[in-house]
Amino acid sequence: MGMTMTQKSLAAHAGLPSVEAGQLIEVDLDLVLGNDITSPVAIHEMDKFKKEGIFDKDKIALVMDHFVPNKDIKSAEHCKCVREFACKHEITNYFDVGEMGIEHALLPEKGLTVAGDVIIGADSHTCTYGALGAFSTGVGSTDMAAGMATGKAWFKVPSAIKFNLIGSPSKWVSGKDVILHIIGMIGVDGALYKSMEFTGEGVHNLSMDDRFTIANMAIEAGGKNGIFPVDDIAIAYMKEHSKREFKIYEADEDAVYEEEYTIDLSKLKPTVAFPHLPENTKTIDEITEEITIDQVVIGSCTNGRIDDLRCAAEVMQGEHVKKGVRCIVIPATQKIYLQAIEEGLVQTFIEAGAIVSTPTCGPCLGGYMGILAAGERCVSTTNRNCVGRMGHVDSEVYLASPAVAAASAITGKISSPEELNN
């Protein structure tokens, strides 16, 4: 029986010739990730272990990104805990103020994630690195603690769903629209504990930033992981950002998939997920009512990369944010922030009446830098819109692409960029 991309990677890291869906295995890890919220819990769990130390100081990454710069005393104490742990164990990849970025944008940029890796992270959107052909998935802080101590993790081998992508997306359609379309089609539990494997000639028409966005939101469909084949675009990205060797795993022709879907990218339209689930999607032309908004957030581990900022700036060039709307732009890393400055994107945002923040996850999880009051609505390029996600339980979050978010900031209602040209 043939294996999928994910199954081949897991088999290799388990030292087995083959694995099959449902099999329990123990694998060697290439990277263990934690942030300022999840790492302190893992560190305290490690205090209970009889084993001293960590498995490899070069294979642990600790990224301070959710409440950094610290918003209050508790968040400062969390970061202090992680900082002291990183110093004690001489962890190579510790990123704090001045070096930090949103973890799932920062690690590929730093070259810490490459094709063929097996990566766990105590953050649900760790599945992002599947864009590079890695098996990466979110785990709890206890599993993170065990991973840091032993360099190993247990998994049940996931079954898989194949998404065959064809065609090329049109102007203003991006990876965010692709994944929202898929989640709207299969539901938030449509890929529960399954590997979402993206393939087909249409993959080549997606940029790396598009792929990162799609893999990032695999968890929003219940997926264990999302993964893309390694083509010349992915190889070029890895060679630019990393000095590490990578391993390409390709699915066998007779690999078993529970379901297969074909998606014509050329037929997709800008898509918005309505409250309070990512599956509540409507294409922009299906929205018949006028939905006025109070805030727009452009950023996050889903859509804070340079392509996202370029797209938003293109929409906002020469325009101005609607009076009464707050528009917050958050580059995902310091490098992206600097690039946005050098390309004049930051100037475009500020002249349009937006604010630009240092890299942070802040508003995405209702932490800080954009909390919503009761009755307020936000169009956000983030990945989750459950009740109370960005603040008050009576607020609403609409998930959209950077293009739709930028256009909505200008009109003060959910809008497509085309509407600005009319």
Inter-residue contact 30 to 126 (CB < 8 Å) = no
Residue 307 has pLDDT above 70, yes or no: yes
Instruction: Give the single-character DSSP code of 289.
Output: S
Rounded CA-CA distance 357/355 in Å is 7
Q: Quick one: what percent of the chain has pLDDT higher than 90?
A: 96
- Looking at 208-305, list the stretches that DSSP marks H as alpha helix, in order from N- to C-terminal side: 208-216, 232-241, 300-303
Output the average pLDDT for the chain: 96
Rounded CA-CA distance 286/284 in Å is 5
Token pair of 343, please? 């390309």
Residue 25 banded pLDDT, cuts 50, 70, 90: very high
Q: 56-73 burial, b if ≥16 CB within 10 A, otherwise e?
A: eeebbbbbbbbbbbbeee
Residue 13 has pLDDT above 80, yes or no: yes
Q: What is the pLDDT of residues 146-184, one digit of tens each?
A: 999 999 999 999 999 999 999 999 999 999 999 999 999
Ordered DSSP codes for 364-393: GGTSSSSPBPTT-EEEESSS---TTTTB-T
Instruction: Give the single-character DSSP code of 421.
Output: G
Question: Which residues have CB under 8 Å from 44's CB, separation 6+?
Answer: none
pLDDT at 191: 95
Rounded CA-CA distance 103/291 in Å is 32
Instruction: Give the single-character DSSP code of 175.
Output: H
pLDDT at 1: 77
pLDDT at 174: 96
Q: What is the pLDDT of residues 198-255, one digit of tens each?
A: 999 999 999 999 999 999 999 999 999 999 999 999 999 999 999 999 999 999 999 9
Ordered DSSP codes for 101-141: B-HHHHHHHTT---TT-EEEESSGGGGGGGGGT-EEEE--H
Residue 422 has pLDDT above 80, yes or no: no
Q: Is 294 exposed, middle or buried (0-12, 13-18, 19+ CB in 10 A)?
A: middle
Rounded CA-CA distance 19/1 in Å is 9
Question: Which residues have CB under 8 Å from 397's CB, separation 6+?
Answer: 275, 276, 372, 377, 378, 380, 382, 384, 385, 389, 390
Backbone angles phi, psi at 51, to 5 degrees: -75, 135
Has this prediction a pTM greater than 0.85?
yes
Sign of CA dihedral 393, 394, 395, 398: positive
Q: What is the pLDDT of residues 254-300, one digit of tens each?
A: 999 999 999 999 999 999 999 999 999 999 999 999 999 999 999 99
Q: What is the pLDDT of residues 34-88, one digit of tens each?
A: 999 999 999 999 988 877 899 999 999 999 999 999 999 999 999 999 999 999 9
Q: What is the pLDDT of residues 346-362, one digit of tens each?
A: 999 999 999 999 999 99
Nearest to 271 by CA among 182, 406, 177, 174: 177
Q: What is the pLDDT of residues 361-420, one digit of tens each?
A: 999 999 999 999 999 999 999 999 999 999 999 999 999 999 999 999 999 999 999 888
Structural domains in the chain, sorted by start: 5-264 (3.30.499.10), 271-421 (3.30.499.10)
Looking up tokens 């970025």, which residue turns up? 101
Higher pLDDT, 100 or 179: 179
As a whole number of Å, the CA-based R_g of the chain is 21
Token pair of 306, please? 């340079």
pLDDT at 421: 64
Mean pLDDT throughout 296-313? 97
